[in-house]
Structures are given as C-alpha cells and as structure tokens.
Amino acid sequence: MRYDAIVLDLGNTLLPFGEREDRAFYGTLQRALTDAIGPMPDFTERAHRARQRLHFERRRTTMREVTVAELLECLLDGAPPPGLAETVERAVSRVFLDICRFPEGTRETLERLARRQPIALLSNFFLTGPIEELLLREGLTPFFAHIEVSATSGFMKPHATPFARVREALGLNGGRALMVGDDFWCDIVGGHRAGFDTALTHEHRQEEPSDPDAPGVKPGRILKSIDELTRES
C-alpha cells in the first residue's frame, strides 16, 4: 500500500519504553522532590494518583497535555516551591536521554521509509525538548518531515489538534496518511477520528486491538515490526 505520508508514534513504536524506563523516570522525579522538599514516604501512592488523574483520565476527557507545574501540584497537593518545576524538567530531560535507546536497525528503517514518502513523528510526551535532542543525537532528525509532540500543541492524542497539525505541516490536504502506533486509544482511535489509515504495532508492546469505548473502531492492520512497511510495493 502506498501512502502520501506515514506518521509514527515514538514510545513503544520506534522506541522501547517499558517498566525499566518508567522506574528510571519516577526514580528521578522522586530524587528531585526529595532534594527540594525532603523525603516523601508515600511518593509511590502520590505518583500513581497523579498518573491516573493527569494522564489516563485526561486522554479520555479533555485530552489536554500535562505540564510540569500541574504534575508537581498534583504530587504535592499544592503549588510547588519556586524553581522546582525547572529543576524537575532538567532532571527528567537528562534521565530521558540516558535511558532511551533505539533498537538496532531503526536508522536504516527510517531511511528506507523516508525515501518512499514523507514521514512524521507524532508523540504524546509532556516535554518536547528531550525528544528533539534524542532524535538529533541519534542522527534521526533528517528523516522526519515534521515532529509533533503533545507538549507543543497542548493536547495529547487522540485529540484532533496534533493530527491536524501534522496534516497541515505535511501539506496532505486530504491525501492518504497512515498512523502507526502501539496504543489503541491514542493512535488507532485518534488516527481513525482524524481520517488516517491506521496500523497497530506489537513490536515493543502488545495491546488489544479494540476498546469497548470505541465500538466499530479497529486498526486497519497489525504490524509485528515497523520494518514491514519498508518491504511493501
């Protein structure tokens, strides 16, 4: 199948991001808070509550992306001390760059895809800088005609805004685009609503290809590997 553009998610689509990465992220966050305000014995419970309220609930309601200040306010049950948001942002950015590693062959796969049609990145993450820095460090930036992160638009997938921004940036104007991602709700439901063809990838994370809250929505296809897209005529 030929497309006018292919749009790729990042975490667990191109880049493995599982329990190890989660532990590193929340461990860094806990250390930053401990250094700033002292020990938080109930940090795990607070982090779970914040993740549920700010991420999982929002992506099915307002779909507004979380800011660092909002995350800290939820964790601390009040406004964070001056300067703490900036400290946490720097710490999270550092650990993100330390722990994120693309699988072998990613560069070659993206290069082959980019030869055939424009490719874009469309990722949910509350910071844009570390994603851009990671892609630059790994030499992957030139392969993407556009990079869209929810922190920039202010809305996370499946909200229509980030998909519309990708369409506009690529000049699709009704052209046929494929959204590829590991998350059924964000990538498949979001892509479907935005008029994209969709593919659910099971390469780094295997999620059910349906959701009772989105009856009738199914991925157009399921991929075992992103590299499958490079072998199509």
Topology (CATH) of 5-16+102-231: Rossmann fold (3.40.50)
* pLDDT of 1: 74
* pLDDT of 104: 96
With CA atoms as reference, report the closest residue to 156 among 126, 178, 180: 126
What residue ranges do the domains of the chain occupy?
5-16+102-231, 19-99
DSSP string, 30-73: HHHHHHHH---TTHHHHHHHHHIIIIITGGGTT-BPPPHHHHHH
pLDDT by residue (tens digit) across 48-87? 999 999 999 999 999 999 999 999 999 999 999 999 999 9
* pLDDT of 2: 85
pLDDT by residue (tens digit) across 14-29? 999 999 999 999 999 9
CA distance 25 to 154: 21
pLDDT by residue (tens digit) across 183-223? 999 999 999 999 999 999 999 999 999 999 999 999 999 99
pLDDT by residue (tens digit) across 124-163? 999 999 999 999 999 999 999 999 999 999 999 999 999 9
CA distance 157 to 153: 10
In the chain, how many H helices and how many E strands? 9, 6
CA distance 53 to 38: 24
pTM given for the model:
0.95
CA distance 55 to 205: 18
DSSP string, 70-120: HHHHHHHTSPPPTTHHHHHHHHHHHHHHHH--PPTTHHHHHHHHHHHS-EE
Q: Cis peptide leading into 158, omega within 30 of 0?
A: yes
* pLDDT of 179: 98
CA distance 149 to 132: 9
pLDDT, mean of residues 87-98: 95
* pLDDT of 175: 87
Residue 233: pLDDT above 70?
Answer: no
* pLDDT of 176: 94
Residue 36: pLDDT above 80?
Answer: yes
* pLDDT of 173: 84
On whether the CB atoms of residues 40 and 33 are closer than 8 A, the answer is yes
CA distance 232 to 219: 18
